[in-house]
Chains A and B, each alone.
Chain A
Amino acid sequence: MRKVLVLAVMVVAIAGLQRNALASDWNMPVGVTEISRSVYSLHMLIFWICVVIGVVVFGAMFYSLFRYRRSKGAKAAHFHEHTTVEVFWTTIPLLILVAMAVPATATLKEMYDTSESDLDVLITGHQWRWQYEYLGEGVSFFSNLSTPSAQIEGEAPKDEHYLLEVDQPLVLPVDRKVRFLTTSADVIHSWWVPAFAVKKDAMPGFINEAWTRIEEPGIYRGQCAELCGRNHGFMPVVVHAMEQDDFDAWLAERKQQAASAANSVDREWKMDELMAQGEKVYSTICAACHQAEGQGLPPTFPALAGNQALMDDLEKHIGVVLNGVSETAMPAFSGTLNPVDIAAVITYERNAWGNETGDVIQPSDIQARLSSE
């Protein structure tokens, strides 16, 4: 028996010492906002209250177990009621709880005050990526996991920020009140950054509000917190907080890019250009369900490679990508991808993995179709 105990203690100790443990590896992070510090102190307050109650209660219990062993000749008493004591241990916890509820209420009220924001960001959850739209600025983009699948499959060593890195982080200014509006295009997701103490569910059909005011520039990482399907564990949140000047410069650059992208719709695209762009779009957007080689995961996610019915019907293919398929997981992409990406990905799907239709779909055609609908 003792050997087992010693072994267990050793396992825990080795596991604990293996890493140079930082405080935030074991405990809730203090974070970089006023709210996150209030939440942290509430957490520590209730924790220490529990510890004190635990010491007293378990102390009394182990004292009784030790002191009143029959093997040491303890004779049982026969009392079974004591009104004063019972009233005492009902009211004391009640008072502790009231004392706890007061600061919790204050913090909660603070968290709910989303008024007078300096910047509004619409966060839309998708299976399995986040979309960020800077409201009123005309800037919108997807943020995808950038950890290569070789690292996930164990074929390459894992980076420091394994599973917590994205292609395009959400960029925010420091010392500004940023309001987050969360919603979802498909199932429920939950946008969470521990350093801000912000976790808000992204609900289809609803827009939820949260806010933060970041105090230090830096990169802050979080994850989707609500089970949202196959790749729930693979849609991290990365926020890059920077000074207002840097943020303004970044935003201007993004606006520039958006404008030039709009121009490129009208020009004639070549097959290999579309294929290259299409492969990029496919691997970040479509491959999560339809798989890297287009083989799909039937019956939920149909195969695209060798899907003859689809290859014979270009109109249907375009319609499915633009409008989605109702009652299934296939979303409508007309609102989330630009015409270039839509044209490119359809071209790619019709000419990759043994699909050899030779179809070249021009962004201008997609644009025309979108405006006619």
Chain B
Amino acid sequence: MAPKLPPKAPLEHGNSITGGASAHEGEHHYRSGPLRWLLTTNHKEIGTLYLIFSLSMFMVGGIMALVVRLELFQPGLQMVQPEFFNQMTTMHGLIMIFGAVMPGFVGLANWMVPLQVGAPDMALPRLNNFSFWLLPIAFVLLLSTLLMPGGGPNFGWTSYAPLSTTYAPPSTTFFIFSLHMAGISSILGAINIIATILNLRAPGMRLMDMTLFVWTWLITAFLLIAVMPVLAGVLTMMLLDINFGTSFFNAAGGGDPVLFQHLFWFFGHPEVYIMILPAFGIVSVIVPTFARKPLFGYSSMVYATASIAVLSFTVWAHHMFSVGLPLVAELFFMYATMLIAVPTGVKVFNWIATLFRGSITFETAMLFALAFIVLFSIGGFSGLMLAIAPADFQYHDTYFVVAHFHYVLVPGAVFSIMAAVYYWLPKWTGHYPDERLGRWHFWLSVIGVNLLFFPMHFAGLAGMPRRIPDYALQFADFNMASSIGGFLFGFSQLLFIWVIVKCVRGGVKAPARSWDGATDLEWTVPSPAPLHTFETPPDMRRIES
């Protein structure tokens, strides 16, 4: 990939500011009011929109999780009826995955990818605006299904047919439509990120010069383009089964419910990596900064990310060990899944080797990144256990699985997003986040999240199935501990919002290079980053020392 010619970038930038209905040169800077946000094509403003949207959805999905934890505080049905409970677990999953974590990472990519590759904006700014605005519409539609007759989706985020087709509430068609929109948004966003990274890198920046955050996002974007159409396909088949009398998944009509699961997990497993690869990138950027030492094994990090992405297409049926696959398939998917532990392990080892003989400080961003390494690894360990097919017959569909994927998603993906926010807030706002409040937020979150999810391992091993609104008495203590942890973790996030608001409003002024160990390109522009940066691309051949 040869570096692009310098004149190319300003040309793209020129396109970007014609994004309004009657736009003319320079109008962008002065537009005010809600229209500014509706019509903006600026990567920083769209990044901010994505991040605000992600945080709002994190709160909405979090409230749903608290409804679930409240009902599970004690055995018996106290707060909600089972059908509403099922809607809460389903919506919680959908909103956290498609509304909080994915848009969170896309928002970070919008803000930071152009800054880290020295581009003036995303390659396709108007498409960028469209990708964002699809999301609020999709999620308003999704949330509105809760008010429809029969309630919202209640079949789990995995939507296994025929529970999600023949036996589903009437609102399912709207659920399908809203996920289609979220899917289109993801695909367009991914195309934009790939186009930006491959075409708008600063002159002299080779692919192997890019930060790990840019690299992991490049690979993630390819994963998105590969698997979101598969989700769209399987959702469309559901739509046809529900409304047009087809029988893709209806056994009575010659259909095959197992086919649904193959298609869903062919999307769903790469989706898991879509939600963790950018997190790897963030941690790989933050750890060297606060260890004041270059990332250990840069190229092996890139190759490990690529291997994980490739392997992620060959492991989907490990979600389906109990559906009655033939022995040879079970063995294949067991071996392939175990294999993923190798590149994942390499990453963890590299981070620790980066820390080794560094000069380490513990700013809030670093605390979250370090907690990520430890707690994500715990999720990785339980993942390795789940890969062992004979043992998976015992673990499958229990709280052990719930513990596993929450460890990789909450102190995994979500902590990485929080680390990224603390790390880049000085660049976004021009102020340092309040360290004291940040530490409170960190410690309360770490304690809350472990109290919330660790007991779930025990509940699952002792035999508690997932997705049940009421449970046998031997699971009571674990559930009570989890619920207390859930509320602690949930309410701690109000601190997070406070830190962000406070930082936007003021605080200690941050210089361009806000962290003394930070070396990437974004730290060469002023803090806060002006609306337009790198209008003349930096020449990496000159900057490199």
Contact = CB atoms under 8 A, between A and B. Distances in A.
Contacts of A68: 291, 355-360
B132 to A, nearest CB: 33
Given A163-B470, A225-B398, A232-B467, A203 B334 contact: no
B46 to A, nearest CB: 34
Contacts of B381: 50, 53-54
Interface residues of B, number: 105
A234 B360 contact: no
A88 B425 CA distance: 38
A233 to B, nearest CB: 3
B171 to A, nearest CB: 10
A100 B292 contact: no
Interface string A180-208: 00000011101010100111110111101
A222 B294 contact: no
Contacts of B345: 89-90, 93
Interface stretch (B35-43, B48-56, B471-479): B471-479
Contact of A26 (B86, B327, B461): B461
Interface stretch (B195-203, B252-260, B493-501): B252-260
A107 interface: yes
Interface string A69-101: 111001111111110011001100110010011
Interface stretch (B102-110, B369-377, B537-545): B369-377
Contacts of B300: 86
A128 to B, nearest CB: 10
A117 interface: no
B370 A39 contact: no
A203 B258 contact: yes
Contacts of A50: 381, 384-385
Contacts of B327: 108-109, 112
Contacts of B2: none
Interface in A1-58: 1, 4-5, 8, 11-12, 15-16, 18-19, 24-29, 38-39, 42-43, 46-47, 50, 53-54, 57-58
B6 interface: no
A161 interface: yes
Interface string B295-309: 111111000000000
Contacts of B346: 86, 89-90
Nearest to A26: B458
A186 B167 CA distance: 9
A164 interface: yes
B306 to A, nearest CB: 14
From A19, A58, A61, A227, name the one whose CB has the most chain B CB atoms within 10 angstroms: A227
Contacts of A24: 462
A207 B166 CA distance: 20
A30 B346 CA distance: 34
B163 interface: yes
Interface in A128-183: 151-154, 158, 160-164
Given A76-B293, A204-B257, A65 B360 contact: yes
A174 B76 CA distance: 34
Contacts of B323: 201, 203, 208
B324 interface: yes
B396 A199 contact: yes
A209 to B, nearest CB: 8
Nearest to A208: B324
B391 A42 contact: yes
| Interface of B: prevailing SS | helix
B251 A205 contact: yes
A328 interface: yes
A141 to B, nearest CB: 23
B465 A104 contact: no
A329 B467 CA distance: 20
A122 interface: no
B447 interface: yes
A44 to B, nearest CB: 10
Given A76-B293, A97-B342, A104 B468 contact: no
Interface stretch (B14-22, B154-162, B406-414): B154-162
B169 interface: yes
Contacts of B357: 64, 68, 74, 76-77, 79
B352 interface: yes
A154 B79 CA distance: 11
Nearest to B345: A93
A29 B460 CA distance: 11
A263 interface: no
B10 interface: no
A298 interface: yes
B223 interface: no
Identify the 6 closest CB pairs spanning chains A and B, nearest first: A205-B251, A233-B468, A208-B324, A50-B381, A76-B359, A77-B357
Given A39-B393, A188-B257, A225-B397, 7 more contacts: A4-B447, A54-B381, A64-B355, A69-B360, A70-B360, A162-B473, A224-B465
